[in-house]
Amino acid sequence: MGDWIDLHALWQVVLVGLICGAGLPALFAVGLRALSAQGSHRTLSMADGRAQTADAGTDRVYGGNPAGLAVAVACFAVILAAVGYGVYLIVAAG
């Protein structure tokens, strides 16, 4: 079996496939979740006595949390670096 299948190369392909095929989309999802993390809220008092947050009803992506923004920027920077490296490998091979 060692003559037909190079197990070392097979594990390298599987590992890179898992990282790029599942890891980068998962990292993107973590970045989006961190970006939408809620920060401090101001509570508005409505006429009928109910409380409503100041951001309720808006379709904003950024939740107002500076730590979440920093994590999201780091996640997106890693993704952009991976995409840039992939483009570099394609251009350099051609």
pLDDT of residue 29: 96
pLDDT band at 23 (very low <50, low <70, confident <90, very high): very high
Q: How far apart are CA 13 and CA 69, in angstroms?
A: 33
Tell me the percentage of the chain whose pLDDT exceeds 70: 78
Residue pair 35/68 in contact by the 8 Å Cβ criterion? yes
Q: If you average pLDDT over residues 6-11, what whole number do you get?
A: 92
Minimum mean pLDDT range among 2-6, 52-56, 67-71, 83-87: 52-56
Q: How far apart are CA 83 and CA 66, in angstroms?
A: 26
Does residue 35 register a pLDDT over 70? yes
Does residue 6 register a pLDDT over 60? yes
